[in-house]
Amino acid sequence: MSGIYGDLTEGERAFLVAVSVFVGGFTFEGARHVSPAADIDEVPFDEMVADLVRRAVIVEARVPARYNLADDVRRDALEDLQASPEYDHIREKHLDWCLSYAEQGAAALDGPGQKAWLEALESEHDNFRAALEWGTALRDCEAALGLAAALGRFWEVRSHVAEGRRWLARALGNNPGAPPMVRARAASSAGLLAFRGRDYAAARTGYEESLALHWSVDDRLGATGVLHALGNVAFQQRDWEEGGRLFEESLDIGRQLDDDRVIAASLTNLGAVAEVKGDHRSARSLYDEALALWRTLGDSYNAASVLANLAEVALAEHDLAGARALASDALEARRLVGDKSGVALVLRLLSVVAMKQRDVDAARSFEAQRRQLVGETEGSWLARLRRRFAP
């Protein structure tokens, strides 16, 4: 046992045992949530934390208002936690805090706080993993299912698709009797990540379960979102008519409910239907209307998608300067939210546009950035580019 850990009061040690449940650091609020009492040894909680920082038992992280335990202290405290009769109770409180924080973040990912919350959720990702590891091992652990459901969009945007699918499969499998709305959100998140992984059969399965559960409790708005998602599946499987029908249905309900988010999503994808049919004028009009709504909502992630779509339309119409400007705006927006896969796609688009402009250096630079981002070696595309535009 370390000397520092051994010199603590009983109350301080109880606090450190509790916070040793955190992985990768913790916030003041998280520590308070899992701690056995608001005040320790009759010392106000915030004063006790500040004193432990001064004594180097707790280390302030580079991120403001975030803390870590000194390595030797955490080792001893974690051993005590694992041997404690309070172990399951503290793990349950940790899971409860993770669920609350993830749900708060999920609600904010649709607005102007998107970038800050994506960073905050990334900071807690190791804690979410630890909570899911414990919670998904239990049967009928509603909190674990709720946590996995709440993290779906975060996993999508930050390119943790395969990992998210694994957690959701485990959580759904161990919670067959969860309340309908909890399971509906989890099934929808599973559908979303399957869709991003291009597993369209699994996406349809998840979405159809979610849709049935939403209708079972007469949740019209929730059902509308899933109808839209099923339209995405149909669209990706080249069933343009079915996709368009579902997007129109979603748009109608969105307008009836006066929900700008549903309206913006429906307009975006109706634009995509028009684009694949070669109706660029309609596509551009629909995209422009959707982009204005996404920007009003403060949703940089979806605004970036529309900008990239507009760039594709401009490219199809041989407006290379317009395509490059729109794609550059999309790239900036993708980087703003840390969307790695989205950045890679836009870099590829910029490479194509630069190639058509015969801007060899820019084309090479965009492709090199993309390869570095996704960890690829130089491929055949750049080889063809060099053969065609050798200096």
Kindly state the average pLDDT of the residues 280-300: 96
pLDDT band, residue 384 (cuts 50/70/90)? very low
Q: What is the pLDDT of residue 376?
A: 61
* Domain 1-84 falls under CATH 3.30.1360.10: no
User: Any idea where the domains of the chain sit in the sequence?
Assistant: 1-84, 302-391
Q: What is the pLDDT of residue 118?
A: 93
Q: What is the pLDDT of residue 99?
A: 98
Q: Which of 173, 177, 131, 137 is nearest to 150 (CA)?
A: 131
Q: What is the pLDDT of residue 38?
A: 67
- At residue 68, the 3 state secondary structure works out as strand
Global pTM reads: 0.82
Q: What is the pLDDT of residue 3?
A: 57
> What integer best gives the mean pLDDT of the chain?
91
pLDDT in tens, 10-27: 889 999 999 999 999 999
How would CATH label the architecture of 302-391?
A: Alpha Horseshoe (1.25)
- Of all residues in the chain, the percent with pLDDT exceeding 70 is 93
Distance between CA atoms of residues 213 and 22, nearest Å: 34
Count Cβ atoms below 10 Å from residue 335 Cβ, excluding itself.
Answer: 15
- At residue 3, the 3 state secondary structure works out as helix
Distance between CA atoms of residues 34 and 289, nearest Å: 46
Q: What is the pLDDT of residue 220?
A: 92
- Residue 320 corresponds to which amino acid? L
Q: Which long-range contacts (CB under 8 A, 24 or more apart) does 312-319 make?
A: 312/275, 312/349, 313/275, 313/280, 313/283, 313/284, 313/287, 315/349, 315/352, 315/353, 315/356, 316/275, 316/280, 317/280
pLDDT in tens, 152-208: 999 999 989 999 999 999 999 999 989 999 999 999 999 999 999 999 999 999 999
33-37, 116-120, 235-239: least confident range: 33-37
pLDDT in tens, 203-226: 999 999 999 999 999 999 999 999
Q: What is the pLDDT of residue 9?
A: 87
- The CA radius of gyration of the chain, in Å to the nearest whole number, is 25
Is the pLDDT at 326 greater than 70, yes or no?
Answer: yes
Q: What is the pLDDT of residue 310?
A: 98
